[in-house]
A and B are shown apart, each in its own frame.
Chain A
Amino acid sequence: MKALALGILAALILLAAPGSQALAAEASEAPGAKPLAVGTAFPDVPLIGPVSPELAENLGISQNGPTPIAKIKAEVLIVEIFSMYCPFCQRDAPTVNELAALIDKRGLADRVKIIGIGAGNSDTEVDIFRKKFKVPFALFSDATFAVHSAVGQVGTPYYYVLKKTPQGFTIVAAHLGLIHSPADFLKDVTAKAGL
């Protein structure tokens, strides 16, 4: 019995390990996903609007783009790769909105910013998602999956946490699937970005 208990414990530990199916169970999968490694440069992908004049000004980009992501004015940038069609992204949307509110509340809004990129979504589809979930941050369309392909064909939702360097953005953290606690997620972001 003791051996069986140890075996079950080992099984639970393995299932909880990063990258396991247990984690992927809260995300829609994508073909041949190869997430970009932490510590590497984030590709200077183009952002395609439209975004509101306020959000464009806040990010330091044009309203319609395409704008290279490196142009965004942020010390730390959280990039959510989502899809309007992904049920997990739909479920996670209110939590990400809470994360945005928390960043504001903690006085980090000028330093930490969030954007979303709709993998395979047209402007219309992104707009449906924006309105349905009252998303307060900028969402960009990626109708041809070009950005999705450049960032590793990740499952959705996928979060890259980027830090600005003189060369552009570098990945300091990544997360697949739902964000259960905005506070814990932000704590992790600030720790890994050295804020």
Chain B
Amino acid sequence: MRRIATLPAVVAVLAALALAAPAPAPAAAPLPPGLAANIFEVPHLPPTDSNLAVAVGSPMPDFDLPTVTGGRVKLSDYLGKKNLVISFVPAAWTPVCSGQWPGYNIAQDIFEENDAALVGITVDNIPTLYAWTRQMGDLWFPVASDFWPHGSLAQKLGILRSDGVSERALFLVDKKGVIRFIDVHDINARPDLGPLLEAMAKVQAEK
């Protein structure tokens, strides 16, 4: 009887030891709360693996994609109203992406000062994006899925990689629907916000 009575205590101590043990090597960049345990460690990938199909000065291809909140996001929502920043990231639940979007929260004021909206897009499906964005915490911008037809917008832009994910890329589209800034970044690293903010300010100064 004595042994049976102490079993829960032993289990509790073992559980505590397991929780108190050093965490396994986490991901490549500082992560937002609660994410570390769910992050998939991506091997180092070729920095880019696609051929850009648009250029600065090109019209932004039209799109109409579902969002994690159950709505849809379309280019026409912004034409004539807002400058639009589109942030493509390769995949949910991966380290750099999980740091990049929450970091944009701190810059929300700057986007607003430049009359710019932000949309985040990946080629993951909606349920995956829903779970991921819930775990990342509140994001102030819509997150949309380019999952089906798979990567159709990424393909139009020329940023769909051979492994089926998109490049890590930023596009700034002005109110006329013209692409004004493109940064197809090394997929393994987070792009510096500086060049994008400069481009937004430049477009906004033309109004």
Contacts and interface: CB of A to CB of B under 8 A. Distances in A.
Interface residues of A, number: 42
B12 A24 contact: no
Contacts of A11: 12-13, 15-16
Interface in B156-207: 190, 192-194, 197
Contacts of B11: 7
Interface in A42-73: none
A28 B8 CA distance: 32
B29 interface: yes
Contact of A85 (B22, B26, B103): B103
Contacts, number: 117
Interface in A4-34: 4, 6-8, 10-12, 14-15, 17, 19-22, 24-25, 28-32
B9 A87 contact: no
Interface string B31-43: 1110010000000
Nearest to B33: A87
Contacts of B32: 28, 86-87
A138 to B, nearest CB: 19
A112 interface: no
Contacts of A17: 20
Interface in B131-166: 137
Contacts of B53: none
A123 interface: yes
Contacts of A128: 106-107, 110, 193
Question: Among the interface residues B8, B19, B27, B29, which one has the most CB atoms of the partner chain A within 10 A?
Answer: B29
Contacts of A88: 33
B25 interface: yes
Contacts of A129: 106
Contacts of A117: none
Given A14-B13, A128-B193, A4 B36 contact: no
A31 B28 contact: yes
Contacts of A85: 29-30, 99-100, 102-103, 106, 190
Given A84-B106, A85-B99, A128-B107, A30 B30 contact: yes
Question: Among the interface residues A22, A30, A119, which one has the most CB atoms of the partner chain B within 10 A?
Answer: A30
Contact of A120 (B6, B16, B22, B29): B29
B30 A123 contact: no
Contacts of B17: 14
B45 interface: no
Interface string A71-90: 00000000000011111101
A125 B19 contact: no
Given A17-B20, A84-B103, A7 B8 contact: yes
Given A29-B23, A31-B26, A10 B16 contact: yes
Contact of B10 (A7, A31, A90, A120): A7
Nearest to B109: A132
Interface of B: 5-6, 8-13, 15-17, 19-23, 25-33, 36, 99-100, 102-103, 105-107, 109-110, 137, 190, 192-194, 197
24 contacts: A3-B8, A7-B9, A8-B9, A10-B9, A11-B16, A15-B16, A15-B19, A17-B20, A20-B19, A21-B20, A24-B23, A28-B33, A30-B29, A30-B30, A83-B30, A86-B32, A87-B32, A87-B105, A87-B137, A120-B30, A122-B192, A124-B192, A124-B197, A125-B194
In the A-B complex, the 5 residue pairs with the smallest Cβ-Cβ separation, listed nearest first, are: A7-B9, A85-B103, A124-B194, A11-B16, A7-B12
